[in-house]
Structure 1
Amino acid sequence: MNDVAENAVRFGRIAVMLPVKDMNRAHDFYCHVLGFRKTFENGNPVGFMILKRDAGELHLTLQPQHKPAHFNVAHMMVDDVDALHALCQRHGLRIIKSLQDKEYGLRAFVFEDPDGNRIDVGQPI
């Protein structure tokens, strides 16, 4: 017997939670560089923030002792991966995996945000 009620539960929004050491720096990067907009914040000082752009949503959580993982923590699908790659380069972000066409049908690259969070970015070929 399967414990998962396949049709009983419907999932809604699922958003990535990114730990950041400096909320203002993270806000400035995601809003002023990548074009997200803040839709919610909580705490004084702010310890949690929701950012949105198009269908994308990011949740930022203040973690002053954050040590970044050595693997991708989020995956973003975009409609112009070359333009985002160029934007990341212009802003001096560390590119972990170079822009390339993958055998699984995506043109993709991986960058680190200012807190060292590795973000995998892709566009269908």
Structure 2
Amino acid sequence: MTDLRFGRVATMLPVKDMARACAFYIDVLGFQKTFENGNPVGFMILKKDAAELHLTLQPQHTAAPFNVAHMMVGDVDGMHALCKAHGLRIIKGLKDQEYGLRAFVFEDPDGNRIDVGMPI
């Protein structure tokens, strides 16, 4: 096998309402829009620090019953508090995990389950 090299890998999140998704990811979490396509907008790229998210408009989206993304953050307790303050559903509560992360799982406004962690 040859030496495989990978570049950027970004999570694609389906959203039912692009404006609502932007209000969460941009206004609440602080991502910045770096690209959008369509009229109405059907695809958007968001970035914050080293993280990149791709949003795709899927009006008939039904959320999966499992985690679709994992997000590493510098302050997991702060992220947890932010999610609770904005009324997001917490799927798995914040706790120290045996695999070395302090973590929790929440649902974004479209029901996408996102696992958030920080090294202990």
Question: TM-score over 0.5 for the alignment?
Answer: yes
Secondary structure in 2 matching 1:89: helix
Kindly indicate whether residue 43 of structure 2 is the aligned counterpart of residue 85 of structure 1.
Answer: no
Structure 1: how far apart are the matches of 2:112 and 2:94?
18
- The reply on whether 1:19 has 2:14 as its aligned counterpart is yes
TM-score (norm: length of structure 2): 0.98
CA deviation after TM superposition for structure 1 residue 114, in Å: 0.2
Residue 43 of structure 2 aligns with which residue? 48
Shift of 1:10: 1.6
The answer on 1:69 being equivalent to 2:64 is: yes
CA deviation after TM superposition for structure 1 residue 25, in Å: 0.5
**Is 2:105 the counterpart of 1:114?**
no
SS in 2 for 1:82: helix
Q: Deviations over 1:3-42 (max 9, x none)?
A: x42x1x3210000000000001001100000010100000
TM-score of the two chains, using structure 1 as the length reference: 0.94
Q: Distance in 2 between matches of 1:17 and 1:99?
A: 24
- Corresponding residue for residue 101 of structure 1: 96
Matches within 5 A, 1:25-36: 25-36=20-31
Per-residue CA deviation, residues 62-108 of structure 1 (Å, 9 max, x unaligned), is 00000000000000000100000000000000000000000000000
SS where residue 21 of structure 2 aligns? Answer: helix
**Identity among equivalent pairs (%):** 78
User: What residue ranges of structure 1 are gaps of 5+ in the alignment?
Assistant: none
Unpaired runs of 5+ residues, structure 2, are: none
Structure ID, larger Rg: 1
**Count of residues paired in the alignment:** 120
